[in-house]
């Protein structure tokens, strides 16, 4: 994979347009495809606006912005993707729609062209059935906002070849991303613990705590600009509910909290009002509860070989911008402290074997 490799993006919505912009800014020729011409017009307008702002801020020269636009070709014609060496799918999150697209792409592309899905909640292996030569199929899971968020998960399906994984890693680096390699498990690496973090915050509300207090305690405890409730309001609580329901297939710990179901289904927002301060004992309880939920998910995922401890920490640091990372945080706490934080989630089942890996 090099800059001569033509890149195809299918779906010019929120994610596809931003991924296309990032790849074109890095020097790749990109065909941005959508079945809807109006969506393509809107996407190109948004990309122009975003590049214009980058020029104003001095992050790009005017010539670089022009050249980036010159490398982007919007198209409603799927056949135009034939010369691409990598096609990234970013269409609606619907298994049948994605399978239909993969069948079309399989017939269109050369057999060694990589095909990637940006799905957040479907299994790469379930989608792979619609791809011919499925050794060239994998997940490239970008994070919002995809043009600038530096994190990218490269998801290996059962059939994905080493060559495809390595080519994807080269593409990630060439487009300025820091990549985590992970297995095809629900939530991949980052959402596996990020969604339980949001869900545990809501469980605290179910137990009578105030969302504003939780937001304030977490901005300090995790070093984030905003807390979980403000964050859920930005992307809409129903998105968190949907993500939680995907993970819920893995067991009781991942079941959505009662208020997440009611707020998510009603379409309401949390509208949490930040208090001036939180009592230190309450703040410690809040931070430890969310750390305990994150650690529970990460320890289970380590048992399943979803990703390495270093990559879980990288995801927390650069994808979520936390200053507390799960594996580094656990090691700093020590085994006894870590077991205390996760104990409530392992009352009726054995502690994960990964504790031995973490603590040697």
Ligand X SMILES: NC(=O)c1ccc[n+]([C@@H]2O[C@H](COP(=O)([O-])OP(=O)(O)OC[C@H]3O[C@@H](n4cnc5c(N)ncnc54)[C@H](O)[C@@H]3O)[C@@H](O)[C@H]2O)c1
- In this chain, which of 8, 11, 85, 221 binds ligand X, going by CB under 6 A? 11
Smallest distance from ligand X to CB 177, Å: 13
Which CB atom, from 122 or from 299, has the smaller least distance to ligand X? 122
Smallest distance from ligand X to CB 124, Å: 12
Catalytic: 153? yes
Binding string, 125-144, against ligand X, x = CB under 6 A?
Answer: -----------------x-x
Which CB atom, from 65 or from 90, has the smaller least distance to ligand X? 90
Which CB atom, from 249 or from 347, has the smaller least distance to ligand X? 249
Q: Does 87 bind ligand X (CB under 6 A)?
A: no
Smallest distance from ligand X to CB 355, Å: 31
User: What HEC string does the chain produce?
Assistant: CCCCCCEEEECCCHHHHHHHHHHHHCCCCEEEECCCHHHHHHHHHHHHHHHHHHHHCCCCCHHHHHHHHHCEEEECCHHHHCCCCEEEECCCCCHHHHHHHHHHHHHHCCCCCEEEECCCCCCHHHHHCCCCCHHHEEEEEECCCCCCCCEEEEEECCCCCHHHHHHHHHHHHHCCCEEEEEECCCCCCHHHHHHHHHHHHHHHHHCCCCHHHHHHHHHHHCCCCCCHHHHHHHHCHHHHHHHHHHHHHHCHHHCCCHHHHHHHHHCCCCCCCCCCCCCHHHHHHHHHHHHHHHHHHHHHHHHCCCCCHHHHHHHHHHHCCCCCCHHHHHHHHCHHHHHHHHHHHHCCCCCCCHHHHHHC
Q: Does 14 bind ligand X (CB under 6 A)?
A: yes
Catalytic: 120? yes
Applying the rule CB under 6 A, the residues between 36 and 75 that interact with ligand X are 36, 39
Q: Looking at 66-74, 117-125, 128-136, 317-325, which segment touches ligand X (CB under 6 A)?
A: 117-125
Q: Does 106 bind ligand X (CB under 6 A)?
A: no
Q: Which residue's Cβ lies closest to ligand X?
A: 13
- In this chain, which of 1, 7, 9, 12 binds ligand X, going by CB under 6 A? 12
Smallest distance from ligand X to CB 101, Å: 5
Catalytic: 141? yes
Size of the site for ligand X (CB under 6 A): 23
Which CB atom, from 125 or from 339, has the smaller least distance to ligand X? 125
Q: Strand 151-156 to strand 137-142: parallel, antiparallel, or no bridges (unpaired)?
A: antiparallel
Residue ranges in contact with ligand X by CB under 6 A = 10-16, 33-36, 39, 90-93, 97, 101, 118-120, 142, 144
Which positions are catalytic? 120, 141, 153, 191
């Amino acid at each position: 994979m090099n800059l001569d490799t033509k890149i195809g993006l299918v779906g010019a919505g929120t994610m596809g347009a931003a991924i296309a912009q990032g790849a074109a800014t890095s020097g790749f020729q990109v065909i941005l495809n959508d079945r809807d011409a109006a969506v393509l017009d809107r996407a190109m307008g948004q990309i122009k606006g975003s590049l214009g702002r980058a020029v104003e801020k001095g992050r790009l020269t005017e010539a670089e912005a022009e050249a980036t636009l010159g490398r982007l070709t919007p198209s409603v014609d799927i056949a135009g993707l034939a010369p691409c060496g990598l096609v990234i799918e970013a269409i609606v999150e619907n298994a049948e729609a994605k399978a239909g697209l993969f069948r079309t792409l399989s017939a269109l592309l050369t057999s060694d062209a990589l095909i990637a899905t940006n799905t957040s909640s479907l299994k790469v292996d379930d989608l792979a059935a619609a791809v011919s030569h499925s050794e060239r199929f994998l997940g490239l899971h970008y994070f919002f906002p995809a043009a600038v968020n530096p994190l990218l998960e490269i998801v290996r399906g059962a059939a994905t070849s080493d060559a495809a994984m390595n080519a994807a890693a080269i593409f990630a680096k060439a487009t300025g991303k820091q990549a985590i390699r992970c297995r095809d498990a629900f939530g991949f690496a980052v959402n596996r613990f990020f969604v339980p973090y949001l869900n545990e915050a809501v469980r605290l509300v179910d137990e009578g705590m105030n969302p504003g207090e939780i937001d304030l305690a977490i901005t300090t405890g995790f070093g984030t600009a905003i807390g979980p409730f403000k964050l859920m309001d930005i992307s809409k609580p129903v998105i968190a509910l949907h993500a939680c329901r995907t993970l819920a297939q893995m067991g009781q710990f991942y079941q959505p909290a009662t208020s997440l179901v009611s707020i998510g289904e009603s379409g309401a927002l949390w509208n949490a009002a930040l208090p001036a301060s939180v009592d230190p004992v309450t703040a410690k309880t809040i931070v430890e509860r969310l750390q305990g939920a994150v650690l529970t998910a990460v320890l289970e995922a380590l048992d399943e070989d979803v990703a390495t401890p270093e990559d879980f920490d990288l995801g927390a640091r650069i994808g979520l911008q936390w200053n507390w990372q799960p594996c580094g945080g656990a090691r700093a706490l020590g085994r006894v402290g870590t077991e205390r934080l996760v104990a409530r989630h392992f009352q009726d089942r054995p502690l994960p074997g990964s504790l031995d890996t973490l603590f040697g």
